[in-house]
Amino acid sequence: MGFRHRLTQIYIHPPKLGVQPLAISVSVIYPNSEGARFDMDYYVNSHLKMVEDSWYDLGMKSITIHKGISGPKPATPPPFLVIGIMEFDSIKDFYAAGKSNGKEMATDLANFTNIEPVVQINERTD
């Protein structure tokens, strides 16, 4: 999957048609800071493939990636380099997916970033 310079969102796996409304989303947020390194090519082509290949069968419904391009004022750096949002029917599904190979995914972080991600579980309100 290639990138154009201004690409800000990648829809990796669209939701299945006909599924019930999603109950939770899980945000994985990579804050920007001095010296932050993030290899978007590896992230999309290797890390997200690992997530998709294993977690989609374990209850993940979709994953959306947002690449930060700016802060709120023109020509300011984004506060976050990347935000990944995964959707699951339940928190139980997310925990089960993480239990399956979460350690492997955490170990893979060093291959594309030196940033400690912030993970937040969100309840869907729509």
- Written as one letter, the residue type at 100 is S
Going along the chain, which residue ranges are E strands?
9-13, 24-31, 60-67, 80-88, 118-123
The per-residue pLDDT for 73 is 95
pLDDT tens-place string over residues 44-90 = 999 999 999 999 999 999 999 999 999 999 999 999 999 999 999 99
DSSP-H helix ranges across the chain = 40-42, 48-55, 91-108
- What pTM does this model have? 0.80
Query: Tell me: domain 9-123, CATH 3.40.1010.10, correct?
Result: no
Under the banding of pLDDT at 50, 70 and 90, the label for residue 4 is very low
pLDDT of residue 75: 93
Residues 2-30: what's their mean pLDDT? 60
CB distance 103 to 33 below 8 Å: no
Total Cβ atoms within 10 A of residue 80: 19
Q: In what order do the strands lie in the sheet with 24-31?
A: 9-13, 60-67, 80-88, 24-31, 118-123
| Closest to 101 measured CA to CA, from 63, 58, 46, 72 | 58
Contact 114, 32 (CB under 8 A): no
Q: Is the pLDDT of residue 121 over 50?
A: yes
The predicted-structure confidence for 18-41, as pLDDT tens digits, reads as follows: 555 558 999 999 999 999 999 999
